[in-house]
Structure 1
Amino acid sequence: MTDEKNMNHNNEEIIEKAKKFFREIIAENHVKNTEKLENIKEFKVNPFTHKYLANFLTGNDDPKSLAKALIYPRVLGTSITTSFGQNLQTFVNTTLEGYGSTTTGMDIEFIDKLDGRKKYCQIKAGPQTINKDDVTTIRNHFRDVINLGRTNGIPIANMDCVVGVFYGTYNDLSAFYKNLAEDYTVLAGKDFWYHLTGDEDFYNKLTDAIGEIANEFDGTELLEKTINQLAMQLQQVDGIDE
């Protein structure tokens, strides 16, 4: 019973730390990055598609529509996605600090709640976030871990070397991840969090908890102000070049 209480406490702690991380790092950076977008110099505009996208979005290509066509993709897509990727190590060091690894090349170490074995884990943000060079690097790190274990008399199997992907499903994983999965363990989204915490529903609890932070950040006024400022700049130029 004590073990179960400790597990629940640890899981609750992860959720609270994740909310703090999202509030203080991701959301605040998102606001700052949005404020920057009132400056036309923040954009590389494609003059062949810009007016088309404005018309597609709003039905006209007046300056405000042109501004929306530039700002919305950044604010609702690349800005926050990039911020999360850039701050992934901060998430690991703060939210998952209790699982910190002292092994070179590993982000965390944990006892798998399903098979009871110790896992040596590299953390990745999403199912499409590694490339061919990353595969080689990860493989080399895992080989080093296994060799170090052998040297120290600690049996470490390939299955104990894990790539943990924060979100998505196994079917979402790129070919690069599936290449790694031929020899090592790749856990994505719900599966990763289940093996880490022992709570099959933890992934949903975590995403719901972070979703609560949205109630603290109403960007309506900020977006309107940013769009209007950019529209004023667009109105002052005859053409928009890269």
Structure 2
Amino acid sequence: MTEQEKQAILEKVKTWFREVIIPNHIKNTLKLANPSEFDINPFLVPYIAAFLTGELTPQSVAKALLYPRVLGSSITTSFGQNMQTFISGVLNSYGSLVQGIDIEFTDALDGRKKYCQAKLGPNTINKDDVETIHNHFRQAKNLGKTNNLPVQQHDLVVGILYGEPGQESSHYKSLRDKHDYSLYIGQDFWYRLTGDPSFYSELKKAIADVAVEAKGADMLNEVADILAQTEVIKRLVG
């Protein structure tokens, strides 16, 4: 892969975050100015607020409610739900015509063509997904035989976009240990895709650069201010 092609992927990632992830993140953050968006535990939330800031005020309570949602579950859910748009928008040049296969690429390390199921992270499949992935790979292998394509077992791989070896769940381990499919995790996946061992680090930096553009800290403070003024939050302080 040329340097120009690698830079094109980085720009696609930035564009995807600007056009898909950030707007969803902003929308989901702004709606949290309404306390009805939270399932409030009146015993635990004040404790968390005081633990977080060292004081119990409407503002500390608002932050205790907001931070886990905005910086945790909200963005994680949004990214996961838009996984297919990531594949189509960022990795579209590697798209596969084989049913059940997300992308095809020439492995930069062994030079062989890989048929890849792309997954988000090391804990993002469940037990049922194991059999589904296995069936997709089996169909791809049979199609290769039918069309005289030299598809070997280790040409069928699961590409995990982030994480480190050893973090993979038992379901991923089952694909590897029981069904003998290769797992390309995090840096290894992007290295094999691009041929650049530092690409994974560049990718993370590119995403962080886009996050700075969003000016999320200002928006978070504004939403916390609005939430802190609601009667529901004030009552938690007493």
What TM-score results when the alignment is normalised by the length of structure 1? 0.92
- Distance in structure 1 (CA, Å) of the matches to 2:79 and 2:234: 34
- Distance in structure 2 (CA, Å) of the matches to 1:58 and 1:239: 15
1:231 and 2:228 matched:
yes
Match of 1:63 among 52, 58, 62: 58
Query: Which residue of the partner structure matches residue 207 of structure 1?
Result: 204
Match of 1:94 among 89, 97, 100: 89
AA aligned to 1:226 is V
Contact 2:106/2:112 (8 A) holds in 1? yes
TM-superposed CA distance for 1:176, in Å, is: 1.1
Taking a change above 3 Å as real, the CA distance of residues 236 and 94 of structure 1, as seen in their structure-2 partners, is closer
TM-superposed CA distance for 1:239, in Å, is: 6.3
- Distance in structure 2 (CA, Å) of the matches to 1:67 and 1:234: 12
Match of 1:76 among 71, 80, 90: 71
Match of 1:12 among 7, 13, 17: 7
Query: Which residue of the partner structure matches residue 3 of structure 1?
Result: none
- Distance in structure 2 (CA, Å) of the matches to 1:179 and 1:131: 11
Taking a change above 3 Å as real, the CA distance of residues 30 and 236 of structure 1, as seen in their structure-2 partners, is closer
Match of 1:220 among 217, 221, 232: 217
Query: Which residue of the partner structure matches residue 194 of structure 1?
Result: 191
Contact 2:130/2:171 (8 A) holds in 1? yes
Aligned length: 235
**Pairwise CA RMSD:** 1.7
TM-superposed CA distance for 1:24, in Å, is: 1.6
- Distance in structure 2 (CA, Å) of the matches to 1:61 and 1:225: 19
Question: Residue 119 of structure 1 aligns to a residue in which SS?
Answer: strand
Contact 1:67/1:234 (8 A) holds in 2? no
Query: Which residue of the partner structure matches residue 128 of structure 1?
Result: 123
1:164 and 2:159 matched:
yes
Contact 1:63/1:235 (8 A) holds in 2? no
Summarize deviations over 1:181-239 as a string: whole Å, max 9, x none. 12101100000001111111111111112221122121232112211211122447756
AA aligned to 1:215 is V
Contact 1:57/1:69 (8 A) holds in 2? yes
Query: Which residue of the partner structure matches residue 147 of structure 1?
Result: 142
AA aligned to 1:179 is S
- Distance in structure 1 (CA, Å) of the matches to 2:104 and 2:78: 25
TM-superposed CA distance for 1:171, in Å, is: 1.2
- Distance in structure 2 (CA, Å) of the matches to 1:141 and 1:17: 28
Summarize deviations over 1:12-49 as a string: whole Å, max 9, x none. 11011011111221122211111011011211122331
1:49 and 2:44 matched:
yes
1:115 and 2:130 matched:
no
